[in-house]
Amino acid sequence: MANYKLVATSAMGLESIVADEVKELGFQTKTENGKIYFEGDETAIAKTNMWLRVADRVRVIVENSTQQHSMTYSNKQKHFHGNNIYQSTQTSQ
């Protein structure tokens, strides 16, 4: 089975309770504001969705990009829908 990076979200101030619940299920945790990070397989996803009482959601982390390489939605939209894309894709004859 594949191992996934997971995050359980919670309301601010309830992180320690959610972290304790995740630890009771047998996972090591790292806690930040409103987020509890842990790793597990498909069984862990189902298990935590069933048994975490205080967490809002359990999510799979798909991509972890740095701010330096990310573009805002409006910048992406300008890039793909602006005139610049047509100028940059034309070939010289």
Residue spans per domain, the chain: 1-64
Over residues 30-53, the pLDDT tens digits come to 999 999 999 999 999 999 999 999
Fold that domain 1-64 belongs to in CATH: Alpha-Beta Plaits (3.30.70)
Q: What is the pLDDT of residue 88?
A: 46
Full-model pTM: 0.67
The mean of the pLDDT values for the chain is: 81
Q: Say whether 90 sits in a helix, a strand or coil.
A: coil
d(CA 25, CA 53): 12
Over residues 47-91, the pLDDT tens digits come to 999 999 999 999 999 976 555 444 455 555 555 555 554 444 445
d(CA 90, CA 49): 50
Cβ–Cβ under 8 Å, residues 15 and 31: yes
Cβ–Cβ under 8 Å, residues 25 and 48: yes
Q: What is the pLDDT of residue 69?
A: 47
